[in-house]
Amino acid sequence: MKLFEKLKDIDKAAIKEIVETPSWDALEQVKIKYLGRKGIMQDAIKNIKSVSKKDKPKVGQLINELKNKFTSLIKEKEQSFIDSERSMFGNKDITLPGVKKEIGHNHPLIKTIDEIIDIFVRMGFKSVDAPEVETEFYNFEALNIPKDHPSRETFHTFYVENGMLLRSQTSTAQIRIMEKEKPPLQIIHAGKVYRPDAVDASHSFMFYQIEGFMVDEGIVFSDLKGVLEKFAKEYFGEEVKMRFRPHYFPFTEPSAEIDISCFICGAKGCRVCSHKGWLEVLGAGMINPKVFDAVKYDSRKYTGFAFGMGIDRICMLKYGIDNIRLFYENDVRFLKQF
């Protein structure tokens, strides 16, 4: 009767284990342990031969009963797992395929900024941050645009409280950095600027600019040309040509507007370049000594260049986007394409 007694113990142990199993995995292990091919019950069947002839039917019957009992207990346990998962998931059918969440990506403007900054960083420029809410000093005075200066009109500005304003150009970063740091400087800064322009296909009250500047002893105009040419070729293509046109900015002297040959039509003339073969992409010049005065740099010792470009326009040119508003409407059908 040894096996018979042993089966009673197995019965107790199995019931306890099945009832107390905490998880699907553990239950699977219990199932294998008792009912598997090399499990305890299979073992008992093999041991039947050691039982006396008269007890054999009794033991055999007990083995069958236990197997059936364990099987149905395991089924019950499985059902209890299913039930508790159901209630946890609010009776939803968790076996249905899920709703796939789409992974986002950078906005085309941010991509453009990252690509451009990357080119300048490789040339040794340091990328910095600068505030968007500014004082008149940083947006104007220190940049040689005093109160009654007619050019202040060009930089129409949103004024907020306490004499603060939303900067209308990233040139503010020149002052912010020069005030804090000493030459030699090689700085690049990207950020938002604000102008109360009427919104149309090519104007927005908020857009992005990238500002770059370099200050040291002996910086000359050809350094500016060299840096910008390197940038233009890397970003727009090797075959791109540049054209410097004289211009006026209060904070640079001399100043230039810079065009690149249209990379869409190869300067032959197309809709994008208004059949001129040239695209205006940058403003630049040698930093005006008056700006150095404002940040207390010795303007007899140091020279430097600065440049600024509108990112929205560059991004529009690059991807053939004909409406600036698309950047700010957050329409996924548009954004998805980049």
Among 108, 283, 302, 312, binds ligand PHE (CB under 6 A): 283
Task: Supply the minimum distance, in Å, between the C-beta of residue 179 and ligand PHE.
Answer: 17
Q: Is 74 or 282 the residue whose CB approaches ligand PHE more closely?
A: 282
From residue 132 to residue 171, the character string flagging contacts with ligand PHE as x (rule: CB under 6 A) and all else as - is -------------------------------------x-x
Distance CA 178, CA 289 (A): 13
Q: Is 56 or 245 the residue whose CB approaches ligand PHE more closely?
A: 245
From residue 169 to residue 188, the character string flagging contacts with ligand PHE as x (rule: CB under 6 A) and all else as - is x-x-----------------
**Is residue 308 involved in binding ligand PHE (CB under 6 A)?**
yes
Task: Supply the minimum distance, in Å, between the C-beta of residue 193 and ligand PHE.
Answer: 7
Among 138, 263, 292, 307, binds ligand PHE (CB under 6 A): 307
Residue among 137, 197, 187, 196 at smallest CA distance from 308? 187
Contacts of residue 204, defined as CB under 8 A and 6 or more positions apart, other chains included, come to: 197, 312, 324, 325, 327, 328
Query: What residue has token string 């008056």?
Result: 290
Among 138, 140, 249, 302, binds ligand PHE (CB under 6 A): 249
The C-alpha angle with vertex 218 and arms to 240 and 235, in degrees rounded to 5, equals 20
Distance CA 325, CA 320 (A): 14
Task: Supply the minimum distance, in Å, between the C-beta of residue 248 and ligand PHE.
Answer: 10
Q: Is 44 or 109 the residue whose CB approaches ligand PHE more closely?
A: 109
Task: Supply the minimum distance, in Å, between the C-beta of residue 88 and ligand PHE.
Answer: 57
CA 242 centroid distance within chain: 32
**Is residue 285 involved in binding ligand PHE (CB under 6 A)?**
yes
Among 144, 186, 204, 252, binds ligand PHE (CB under 6 A): 252
Query: What residue has token string 């197309």?
Result: 270
The C-alpha angle with vertex 310 and arms to 304 and 314, in degrees rounded to 5, equals 120
**Is residue 292 involved in binding ligand PHE (CB under 6 A)?**
no
What is the number of other CB atoms lying within 10 angstroms of the CB of residue 251?
A: 25
Task: Supply the minimum distance, in Å, between the C-beta of residue 159 and ligand PHE.
Answer: 18
Question: Which amino acid is present at 277?
Answer: G
3-state secondary structure 94-144: CCCCCCCCCCCCCCHHHHHHHHHHHHHHHCCCEEECCCCEEEHHHHCHHHC
Task: Provide the binding-site residues for ligand PHE, judged by CB under 6 A.
Answer: 169, 171, 211, 249, 252, 283-285, 306-308
